[in-house]
Structure 1
Amino acid sequence: MKKIKYILFFLFIILVITVIIQYPKLNLISGYAAKNTASTLFIAGRTLNSVAENDNNVPLIKLAESSYDLTNKVASAEVFGLMERKAICRDGLGCVLTNGDVDHRLYSEVPLRVQQTIPLPYPHGHLPARDTTFSRVDYGKLSRALDHVFADTVKTRTVLVLYKGHILAERYADGFDPDTPVLGWSMTKSVLATLFGILEYQGKISMNDKAGLPSWEADGRKEITLDHLLRMQSGLDWEEDYSTISDVTKMLFMESNMAAVQAGKRLVAEPTEVWNYSSGTSNLLSGLLRNTFSTYQNYLNFPYKALIDKIGMHSMIIETDLAGNFVGSSYAWASTRDWARFGQLYLQKGNWNGEQIFHPAWVSYATEPTEHSNGVYGAHFWLNAHGKFPDVPRDMYSANGYQGQHVFIIPSKDLVVVRTGLAEEPQFDTNVFLREVIAALP
């Protein structure tokens, strides 16, 4: 009997220690579930069951139980009745996790969007795509490539293939269609970078400009430039680990002002000495973008006026944090067709229906391999410069996001491929998929 008591006591101690260690994670788990539920319901228009069975059905997150209030556009989540978190949705600004009381007067300013119908066939306008058949394209091979990528284990949701500015193939999983907004996660970083390219083309900034934060003036951080930040070469401390309580998970699911998180980090290396992928850096850039405008309203309008609505990506929305900053690291939503428009803009080197959105040289800048990245990263775009994907042309570059969101741009093939889903490498094999698509082309 005594021995059993000792064993039970020992097990109790283990349980207590486990709860103490794991309890802080509940904040992140319920935060992720609440935010993802809110945005997926109120932006993408999907159902709570669909979110629970798919988007939130991942390790740890599936422990959370979510609910929502349709009238007030609020979603809540908790884990075993503990650590309830709420996310509210605001017209024009998307959804955001609350941290205590929320002053709704903060959301009186919203982006002023001009969403004109462009009277041209898709992708350059909003008329139906031209029904085009290319005699030298093997449509059987292309169909088989999509069959493979839509296998159950790959968890693909949408695929669109644009070849020479025409839809070559398009397929959607159940519950998705050409108009369903999809969360791009870190594909948002490439959209954010494009805004800096536009400002540079307008003569308002230079990539060699210093970040210029007053809190950096007394130390080595004063030497950090926009180029360093866009290339993830700032030398600032950052941990990008989504499996634990890290800099990135605390920022996305606990911080009210995401632009300030990376700004408060110390230097661990001189700028350009190391390459360290950092979502905090992207949100810092979003804050710096805000600083370039004289009013908050101008900041809110800029992405839509200068890029998003200008090229007809009317489904796109970039969500803001509680402090009003665009979450440039992670929270852009758009339909698959609008994500493909973004890729087509880059394939056309910034020219859209005769108007130059950013300088053609911006593409060369964004796709120049960053030192120490082993040829996989440029300026907020991913690269194949050193042949990471051996069967894919070296000039391929892409906007990539968590769980396998991709806009692939392959200039040598005049090709844009969008794939969204809930699985990334190795379940989703980029090399095999693109190899099979390319094999169908002349």
Structure 2
Amino acid sequence: MKLLKRILLLLLIVIGVVVYLNYPKLNIISGYAAKNVASGVYVAGRSEASMNLNDNNVPLVKLATTEVNEASKSASSTVYGLMERTAVYRDGLGSVLINDEYDPSKLTIRPQRNFSMDTIPYPYGQAAPLDSIFDEVDMDQINRALAVAFANPETQKTRTFLVLYKGHLIAEKYVDGFTKDTPILGWSMTKSALATCYGILEHQGKLEMDWPAPIAEWKDDGRKNITLNHLLRMQSGLEWDEDYGGMSDVTKMLFLDSDMTQRPKEKKAVAKPAEIWNYSSGTSNLLSGILRQQFRSHQEYLDFPYSALIDKIGMYSMVLEADIAGNYVGSSYSWASTRDWARFGQLYLDRGIWNGEQIFDSEWVDYITTPTQHSNGEYGAHFWLNAEGKYPDVPKDLFSCNGYQGQYVFVIPSKDLVVVRTGLAEEPEFDPNRVLRAVVDAIKG
């Protein structure tokens, strides 16, 4: 009996230690679940059941129970009844995890949108795409590429796939529950859209990439030497932990912070600018805060990405989500349909020209595709690269926007291709090299 009591006591101690060590993680788990469902339901028009069954069916997050409140346009999650978190939807600004600092009366403005319809065929306009046939495109091979992209649905988990060739839609496919109009969470593809805002401001003569980052807290130490270029290239030298498996810089920022620009601003330097490369979502949100500083009012900041880029090229399905403080979460939270993500890729394939208007300098494309030192040729300026052959069977001039769970916008200039893939699995379950090779093989010559 004494032995049994000791065993039970030891078991209780072990359970207590496990709960103590993991309890803070519940904040992240329930926060992720609530935010994901609220955005999926109110931004993308998905069902609560579909979001819970599919999008939240990832390790740890699937432990959460999430329910939607239609009256308040919110979603609340708990993990076995513990650590309740709630995310609320705000028209034009997407969903946000709330905390004790949240005051809905403080953020009443929203971005002003301009949805102007036209008769120009997709992707350059809102009319139906042209039924285009090219002698140099093997459509049977394109269909085989689609089959490869959607093979093994339980592991690859591809949801949507689209191919543009020379500015013409030549293939697209969607799984049940998704259409050409369904907004998809881009995750870190948002970083590339944020960077493009800097390219536009540079084109307008309003800033230069070698300018020091305008952060007052850095003016008296070595961080004063960090430039916009260093930030765009993820080589600021600032400390940052991009670990999504526990309580880290990135998870605290995304699921706890009211102002997501503050945490990265407070990080100390662990190296001089350009000495190291360290992928950091904090850097992207810092850049979002710096972008806000370029405008006289909050309204101008909210409007700029839409008026200068998103609505300018007809990405009307796109929504940039903001934090409690009203900063766009440039690291992670933007939604757009597969067709609209492809428009973004086409803009880059066309080197910044859209229907005759130069949105950003042609040289900006050269800038964002120049490999960043210490990145093994895989990163430029908020875009991913194939410069060193990460995808060995694909042209090395490929560059892309990449997001968690395998969201991709691939641009291959030498083949006049834009390829978009969205889903719920990335490498190794989804093999971009194999799928892209199948697409590239369809282009003769």
TM-score, normalisation: structure 1 = 0.99
1:144 — aligned with what? 144
Check if 1:107 corresponds to 2:103: no
1:426 — aligned with what? 428
Q: More deviation in 114-123 or 89-98?
A: 114-123
2:348 — aligned with what? 346
Residue pair 2:191, 2:330 contacting (<8 A) in 1 also? yes
1:226 aligns with one of 228, 234, 249: 228
2:275 — aligned with what? 273
2:191 aligns with one of 189, 192, 202: 189
Q: More deviation in 277-286 or 129-138?
A: 129-138
2:64 — aligned with what? 64
Q: Where do 1:252-401 residues align within 5 Å?
A: 252-401=254-403
Distance 1:380 1:55 in 2: 25
**Helix, strand or coil for the counterpart of 2:136?**
coil
Residue pair 1:33, 1:77 contacting (<8 A) in 2 also? yes
Structure 1 letter corresponding to 2:56? N
**Helix, strand or coil for the counterpart of 1:406?**
strand
Per-residue CA deviations over 1:251-301 (Å, capped at 9, x if unaligned) read 000000001110000000000000000000000000000001011110000
Residue pair 1:242, 1:249 contacting (<8 A) in 2 also? yes
Distance 1:244 1:142 in 2: 41
1:413 — aligned with what? 415
Distance 1:139 1:13 in 2: 64
**Helix, strand or coil for the counterpart of 1:258?**
coil
Per-residue CA deviations over 1:38-83 (Å, capped at 9, x if unaligned) read 0000011011110111100011000000001112211100000010
**Helix, strand or coil for the counterpart of 1:66?**
strand
Q: Where do 1:11-22 residues align within 5 Å?
A: 11-22=11-22
1:83 — aligned with what? 83
Distance 1:287 1:339 in 2: 24
Per-residue CA deviations over 1:215-239 (Å, capped at 9, x if unaligned) read 1111000110000000000000000
Structure 2 letter corresponding to 1:347? L
Question: Structure 1: any 5+ residue segments left out of the alignment?
Answer: none
Residue pair 2:76, 2:86 contacting (<8 A) in 1 also? yes
**Helix, strand or coil for the counterpart of 2:159?**
strand
Distance 2:138 2:360 in 1: 35
Q: Percent identity?
A: 62
**Helix, strand or coil for the counterpart of 2:84?**
strand
Query: RMSD across aligned C-alpha pairs, in angstroms?
Result: 0.8
1:29 — aligned with what? 29
Q: More deviation in 114-123 or 329-338?
A: 114-123
Residue pair 1:231, 1:377 contacting (<8 A) in 2 also? yes
1:39 — aligned with what? 39
1:133 — aligned with what? 133
Distance 1:190 1:406 in 2: 11
Structure 2 letter corresponding to 1:421? G
Structure 2 letter corresponding to 1:428? F
Question: Structure 2: any 5+ residue segments left out of the alignment?
Answer: none
**Helix, strand or coil for the counterpart of 1:412?**
helix
Q: More deviation in 147-156 or 202-211?
A: 147-156
Distance 2:127 2:137 in 1: 24
Q: Where do 1:178-257 residues align within 5 Å?
A: 178-257=180-259
Shift of 1:101: 5.3
Q: More deviation in 284-293 or 146-155?
A: 146-155
Q: Report the number of matched residues.
A: 442
Distance 2:144 2:254 in 1: 38
**Helix, strand or coil for the counterpart of 1:65?**
strand
2:54 — aligned with what? 54
Structure 1 letter corresponding to 2:253? M
Structure 2 letter corresponding to 1:130? L
Distance 1:238 1:114 in 2: 37
Distance 2:59 2:254 in 1: 18
Residue pair 1:90, 1:107 contacting (<8 A) in 2 also? no
Residue pair 2:260, 2:329 contacting (<8 A) in 1 also? yes
Shift of 1:441: 1.4
Distance 1:101 1:204 in 2: 34
Distance 2:248 2:146 in 1: 36
Shift of 1:106: 2.1
TM-score, normalisation: structure 2 = 0.98
Cα 1:255–1:101 change in 2 (3 A) is closer
Shift of 1:118: 3.0
Structure 2 letter corresponding to 1:177? T
Residue pair 1:395, 1:411 contacting (<8 A) in 2 also? yes
Residue pair 1:37, 1:48 contacting (<8 A) in 2 also? yes
Shift of 1:139: 1.6
1:439 — aligned with what? 441
Residue pair 2:101, 2:258 contacting (<8 A) in 1 also? no
**Moved >6 Å (runs of 4+):** none
Structure 2 letter corresponding to 1:315? S
